Amino acid sequence: QVELVESGGGVVQPGRSLRLSCAASGFTFSNSGIHWVRQSPVKGLEWVALISYDGGNKFYADSVKGRFTVSRDNSKNTLYLEINSLRVEDTAVYYCAKDNIFGVATALQYDGMDVWGQGTTVTVSS
């Protein structure tokens, strides 16, 4: 079945780094743009980053620009989020999700984030 599975979350101290992974199955990963979205009780749902199907385009929220790096390995059907200089306010559940923007086909309408992972929790605390 179509699935995204995140991993790599944990409890980390402020200023440290972490790498999250998102493993895809059941669809042609290399055709899809994939997002990272996070959710915390304080900020609700917050879009973090998008990487295009081929990795050639990357977009970031201002709150993470310069600290987070999104990448993908299409040969492994896996997406990554490298998080540096972690802050307390980065504490959240991190989801990966796919939609149809910046996929291999031009999006003529927005088809929504139709597949989400189960989320991985990042807690930043000293």
**Choices 12-20, 22-30, 56-64, 84-92; region in contact with another protein by CB under 8 A:** 56-64
The residue among 2 and 11 lying less far from another protein, judged by its C-beta, is: 2
Residue located via tokens 């149809």? 100
CB of 49 within 8 A of CB of 35? yes
The residue among 16 and 107 lying less far from another protein, judged by its C-beta, is: 107
Q: Does residue 106 interact with another protein by CB under 8 A?
A: no
Q: Which of 75, 105, 110, 126 binds another protein (CB under 8 A)?
A: 110
Contacts made by residues 117-121, CB under 8 angstroms, sequence distance 24+: 117/3, 117/4, 117/5, 117/6, 117/22, 118/5, 118/6, 119/6, 119/39, 119/93, 119/94, 119/95, 120/6, 120/7, 120/8, 120/9, 120/20, 120/93, 120/94, 121/9, 121/10, 121/92, 121/93, 121/94
Residue type, 71: S
Q: Which of 23, 40, 61, 67 binds another protein (CB under 8 A)?
A: 61
Site string for another protein, 4-33 (x = CB under 8 A): ------------------------------
Q: Which of 1, 62, 105, 126 binds another protein (CB under 8 A)?
A: 62
* Smallest distance from another protein to CB 46, Å: 7
Q: Which of residues 71-90 bind another protein (CB under 8 A)?
A: none
